[in-house]
């Protein structure tokens, strides 16, 4: 292309944004001959840049969605695992009363120790030591007596509101009974050497820890 003033050869500028060109000899300025094509090229470049930007934004959104889905699956897995681990614990505590079975919780032993201390001042001694256990049914124990008076005692934890005590001879005959009290005590004097059996009766549907002991007391 030539300058419109001095007819010198002019090379069009390479920048698409250029709309005029200057003659290096006379300094004359004139519009670029391919102005329409340049504007079309600029518009196409901007369109492609916008599409690239939209594609990049969509890619980021998809990546975020995938990460969120993975995070959600991870939390679902953690919650499911915790549920599987916690469910047996809840069942063990609420249905099977596991803490009490393992020796935790009230058993009434403290009250029996106090009663034992009181009776010791009257001369009573331990014949069968204090024992605590979990139960949801009656408890039966054997004791050896030899021409002596005994006193059997029982007490329950929170799961046993009332208890009963029965004493049986070797022939199975009931010798004494105390029913439906918080801390039952049963006294009996044996005239012979024999093996007796005492039974602690618990209320229906009661379960939990209880304690019991047997003392030999003066006649």
Q: What is the pLDDT of residue 18?
A: 80
Q: What is the pLDDT of residue 115?
A: 94
Q: What is the pLDDT of residue 124?
A: 96
Q: What is the pLDDT of residue 16?
A: 77
User: pLDDT truncated to tens, each residue of the chain (219 aa)?
Assistant: 777 788 888 888 878 788 788 888 788 888 888 888 888 888 888 889 999 998 888 888 888 888 888 888 888 888 888 878 877 766 655 555 555 555 556 889 999 999 999 999 999 999 999 999 988 899 999 999 999 999 999 999 878 889 999 999 999 999 999 998 989 999 999 999 999 999 999 998 888 899 999 999 998
Q: Please name each of the domains of the chain with its CATH number.
A: 109-217 (2.60.120.380)
Burial of 186 (0-12, 13-18, 19+ CB in 10 A): buried
Q: What is the pLDDT of residue 89?
A: 67
Handedness of CA 179, 125, 106, 92 (dihedral sign): negative
Q: What is the pLDDT of residue 187?
A: 95
Q: What is the pLDDT of residue 17?
A: 80
| 108 CB neighbour count, 10 Å cutoff | 23
Q: What is the pLDDT of residue 211?
A: 95
Q: What is the pLDDT of residue 132?
A: 92
In angstroms, what CA-CA distances link 4 with 15, 27, 68, 175? Answer: 21, 11, 65, 139
Q: What's the pTM? A: 0.56
Distance CA 218, CA 163 (A): 26
């Amino acid at each position: 292309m030539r300058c419109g003033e001095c007819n010198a050869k002019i090379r069009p500028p390479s920048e698409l944004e250029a709309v005029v060109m200057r003659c290096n000899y006379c300094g004359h300025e004139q519009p670029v001959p391919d102005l329409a094509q340049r504007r079309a090229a600029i518009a196409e470049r901007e369109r492609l840049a916008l599409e690239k930007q939209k594609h990049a934004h969509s890619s980021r959104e998809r990546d975020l969605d995938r990460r969120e889905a993975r995070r959600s699956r991870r939390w679902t897995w953690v919650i499911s695992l915790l549920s599987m681990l916690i469910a047996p614990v809840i069942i063990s505590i609420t249905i099977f009363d596991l803490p009490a079975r393992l020796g935790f919780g009230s058993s009434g032993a403290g009250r029996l120790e106090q009663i034992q201390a009181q009776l010791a001042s009257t001369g009573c001694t331990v014949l069968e030591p204090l024992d605590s256990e979990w139960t949801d049914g009656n408890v039966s124990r054997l004791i050896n007596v030899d021409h002596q008076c005994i006193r059997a005692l029982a007490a329950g934890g929170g799961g046993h509101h009332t208890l009963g005590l029965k004493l049986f001879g070797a022939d199975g005959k009931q010798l004494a009974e105390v029913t439906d009290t918080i801390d039952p005590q049963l006294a009996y004097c044996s005239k012979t050497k024999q093996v007796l059996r005492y039974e602690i009766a618990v209320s229906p549907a009661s379960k939990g820890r209880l304690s019991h002991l047997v003392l030999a007391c003066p006649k």
